[in-house]
A and B are shown apart, each in its own frame.
Chain A
Amino acid sequence: MKKRLSTLQVLAISALVVAVTAILPFFVSGYILGLLTVAFYFGVFAMAWDLLFGFAGEVNFGPTFLIGVGAYTAGILDNLYQPPIIVCLAAGTLAAIVGGLVLALPALRLRGPYFGLITLVAVLILSNFVVVAAELTGGEIGLTVPDVITVNADTNYWLALGFMAVSGGILYFLSRSPIGLILQASGQDPVQTNALGFNVSKHKLAAFIVSAFFSGLAGALMVFYFGVASVGTFVDLTVAVQIIVAAVIGGRRTIIGGVLGAVFLIGANEALRPVGDLSTFVVSAIALVVVLLFPSGFLGLLSRLRGAE
């Protein structure tokens, strides 16, 4: 019988991987760093989504609602008043948490596809709002913010890596903590979990807040990396699809699988540049094959291989 890795072991292995990736800037080009920077932020999106879906059991088609709210709040604030970036980040995160609460209200009432629709509609309304309130948001052209954190590729990379590592650590720790257990039980069988004496609504609400916190903060940080907030980057359903696909092919209910999925998606898209226009097609096809043949994702595949040894 195979023994699962303990939380500490996983954190140790992850720390090692992070340490190795941290010295990458001394070896690889700025371009690959830029690629990984984006992949790390996407990884955080995917991990935050996994907390909601994999643990709390909420099918959220609109992770970009939380991300978009965070990103645009931070961007608009910077554009209007140019406070220190840290203030913008805090405001974006806060707004995303409020968004998370708004989203959580129907989630406590609706199940499955019905809640899924609400999240979808939330994204559509947000993107409509961005276009309609073009004065404030820059419309579908996008909002260019005056400040970025830094233009140095190495610094940006380390920032994203650090943020991803810390977020991943916290989310993973939470998922393995007593709260993670309760959340998972709530997602699987809310009636029984209630009867065990747990306030399922309270825990789900907490999951929404945590997920919104990381989604919003990551979104806000990414605004100050790109220097621009646009519907196509932060809100659009295609971005939501990428996040969900990253989390699913990385391995659901693993938290850290989301990072693997994100790095794979963005890396594959890049590696496939030679096939030109077909790269998205090929990446989708690979992801579909993973979903069809390896339903537990990369991490599931990995643990199967380990089990076979």
Chain B
Amino acid sequence: MLFWQILIDGFAISSLYALGATGFTLIFGVSGVLNLSHGALMVAAAVGAWALNSELGAGAYLGAAFGVLTGIVLTLVTYHVVVRPLQLSARIREEEKEIFILTATLLWGIMIQELIAYFFTNNAKSVLPVVAGVVRIANVRTPANEIFTAIICWVAIALLWFIVNRTRAGKSVLAASMNPRGVTLLGVELSSVYIAVWVIYGVLVGVAGVLLGMFLGVSSYSAGPLTASAFSIVVLGGLGSVPGSLIAAYAVGYLETITAYTISPAYRTIPALLLVILVMYLRPRGLLGRR
């Protein structure tokens, strides 16, 4: 019984972690950006979905769609207003750009977070789930929304896999993550590849944010912890490696769930943090890290 509970609950939360981390690692793999406004973007998407439904009564589907749209638009703004100018800046040395992008995206994330708190208070909000009710799996009563979350996460990840491996534009993105120069030499404009990646990232952030809002709820306070957890998962898996992130997301998700069930919910996150430290000592490049 306990085994099944852990298996099922862990799966849903891990899937959500995986989806959130996938976008984060993709953007690093292709354009070398660690986006510390990641959590704030997710929260913004969730709050967008919540607001359209609660303030304007738009319903669950329209609300969710609007939330994803919010995620995409804000992600593109992040790229064009914060990241791109720094990448192009001639006044900053190349080796220092990383810390500048980190600082700038961090500040940008705080700005988003503060605006959300200002207009919608920092109370936790949950997005109206698209599906309600519960289902029994292996005698474990599971909310339909949890299953929905897991399914959508995997559909999104599978879709991403399909786009990246089976379409021309997607292939270019994948190729650019391995060798941006090679892509240019084959006549593909790197700038459009970057925009494509940020759009994909925006979709992933939007979907992950809205699902998070339905499953666990968000508040403007969640932004920091969300970024931190995506960051740890992605580094744990190996920066830039999508399969690595997926494995790490499940490792962290299940470790947390097992801790919560068998030790105490109060210690939920601690073993996962220790795991990160352990892996960093043993494999300084993460589980599947290449560089």
Contacts and interface: CB of A to CB of B under 8 A. Distances in A.
Interface stretch (A33-41, A73-81, A110-118, A195-203): A110-118
Interface in B111-143: 111, 114-115, 117-118
B124 to A, nearest CB: 17
Given A280-B110, A295-B100, 18 more contacts: A106-B281, A113-B239, A114-B239, A117-B280, A118-B277, A120-B228, A120-B232, A121-B232, A124-B273, A125-B270, A245-B106, A277-B118, A281-B118, A284-B111, A284-B114, A288-B82, A288-B108, A291-B86
B103 interface: yes
A106 B282 CA distance: 11
Contacts of A128: 269-270, 273
Which of A106, A118, A280, A292 has the largest count of B CB atoms less than 10 A from its CB?
A292
Interface residues on B, range: 35 or more
A132 B114 contact: no
B266 interface: yes
Contacts of B96: 295
A278 interface: yes
Contact of A118 (B89, B118, B280): B280
Contacts of B270: 125, 128, 132
Contacts of B159: none
Nearest to A281: B114
A295 B110 contact: no
Contact of A245 (B86, B91, B107): B107
A23 interface: no
The interface centre, meaning the residue of B103, B266, B281 with most chain A CB atoms within 10 A of its CB, is B103
Nearest to A253: B96
A241 interface: yes
B107 A291 contact: yes
Contacts of B110: 241, 280-281, 284
Where chain B touches its partner, the secondary structure class is helix
A93 B115 CA distance: 38
Contacts of A245: 103, 106-107
A248 B103 contact: yes
A237 interface: yes
A284 B239 CA distance: 28
Contacts of B269: 124, 128
A116 B228 CA distance: 11
24 contacts: A59-B98, A59-B102, A113-B34, A114-B235, A114-B239, A116-B102, A117-B276, A118-B276, A118-B277, A120-B232, A121-B277, A125-B270, A128-B269, A132-B266, A132-B267, A237-B228, A241-B106, A280-B110, A281-B111, A284-B114, A288-B108, A288-B111, A291-B103, A292-B89
Nearest to A290: B107
B92 interface: yes
A287 interface: yes
Contact of B99 (A59, A238, A277): A59
A53 interface: yes
